[in-house]
Amino acid sequence: MNAKQPTWKQNLFRHEAILLVVLIAEWIFFDAIGRNFGTYDNSCDILRHSCEIGLLALAMTPIILTGGIDLSVGSLLGLCAILFGKFWRDAHLPIPVAALCTLGVGALAGGLNAALITRLRLPPLIVTLGTFSLFRGLAEAITQGVDTFTNFPNSFLFLGQERWLGIPAQAPIFIGAVIFFWLLVHQTTYGRTFRALGFAPEGVRFAGIPVERRIAMTYVLAGIISAIAAIIYTARLGQAKADAGNGYELYAITAVVLGGTSIFGGTGSVHGTLLGVAAIAVLQSGIVHALQPSEMAGMLTGALLILALTSSVLPKMISGLRARKSALKLSKPIA
């Protein structure tokens, strides 16, 4: 029987393989034409620059796997950043405590999304569109736009700017998150439930799995991760301001979808997302090193996204046709 290979997995495989090739190709290309691109220093910078968006993309992956979406992560990053600043400067909390409080805020904000989506059964797109404005708005209202938090102690800035054991200091956190999400999505029943939800939410309910709780979990997680990203971001810039993380939600979604996660949910993977993040980050850095205007990066990202999508559709079309033909031939053994 030539239906031997399950096609959905086939596509997944194909997609990530393609993306990996693209990534390596990018690397080689920019290394060739770009000045000092392939250096260790630059690699570290790429890693450092992709940490925040990388984190958000990781958190976005389970959400999109369940067929949801979260537009509010960027704004939430901004809100958390300035609240972190407030906790530290105005409430005179020590950095670690301030950080913890910030995580709390992130969790609460994520909880708000989750509650509206699961309790009231509202479409995630709309809910998070609303909180997208709300969180950013609160950030601006609290700081009145002007208030900027800065002069953080060096011990804290280290987290965002220095190297630790030869790698950017924030990298361990990012890598930790990667491992966490990879295990969560690919090695635990939660991840499996997320997929199932993306395919058939009703089916999951009928299997006796607490659907609402699982969905809520993904949004709360996203909230917490946004908070972590906010702290790293603050450390990297050495300042917290209401405009932090503007537009990050779109970068994150782009990375996730580029990574082969279906926007309808179900199929997708964390390593795919990782590849997506890397592909974009490398592109952005590479463009600068190739002395090309950074608009190029945006345009190429868009093009890449469309290509990735089409490449994931065409094989399905083909295999669909093939299945139709084969069905006629091989019906004997079945009946």
Find the part of the chain contacting other proteins (CB under 8 A) among 92-100, 103-111, 190-198, 222-230: 190-198
Two tokens, residue 242:
């209401």
Name the residue among 258, 296, 304 with its Cα closest to residue 277.
258
Dihedral, 117, 123, 125, 131 alpha carbons, nearest 10 = -40
Is position 155 an interface residue for other proteins (rule: CB under 8 A)?
no
Smallest gap from Cβ 259 to other proteins, in A, equals 10
- Stretch binding other proteins (CB under 8 A), from 35-43, 55-63, 87-95, 219-227: 35-43
- Residues 214, 66: contact at Cβ < 8 Å? yes
Interaction between residue 2 and other proteins (CB under 8 A): no
Cα–Cα distance between 78 and 132 in angstroms, integer? Answer: 10
Angle, CA of 121, 123 and 124, to the nearest 5°: 110
CB contact at 8 A, 222 and 111: no
Q: Please tell me whether residue 241 binds other proteins under the rule CB under 8 A.
A: yes
We find the least distance from the C-beta atom of residue 45 to other proteins, in angstroms, to be: 5
Q: In terms of CB distance, is 4 or 92 closer to other proteins? A: 4
* 261-320 binders of other proteins (CB under 8 A): 262-264, 266-267, 269-272, 274-275, 278, 281-282, 284-285, 288-289, 291, 293-299, 301-303, 305-306, 309-310, 313
Cβ 185 to other proteins, closest distance in Å?
A: 10
Q: Which of 190, 207, 215 is nearest to 66 (CA)?
A: 215
Site string for other proteins, 68-87 (x = CB under 8 A): -x------------------
Alpha carbons 222 and 129: distance in angstroms, whole number: 15
**Residues 89 to 118: which contact other proteins by CB under 8 A?**
116
9 binds other proteins (CB under 8 A): yes
Contact with other proteins (CB under 8 A) among 32, 94, 108, 123: 123
Q: Which helix (H) or strand (E) holds 333?
A: helix 331-334
> Does 250 help bind other proteins (rule: CB under 8 A)?
yes
* Cα dihedral 81, 139, 278, 256 in deg (nearest 10): 130
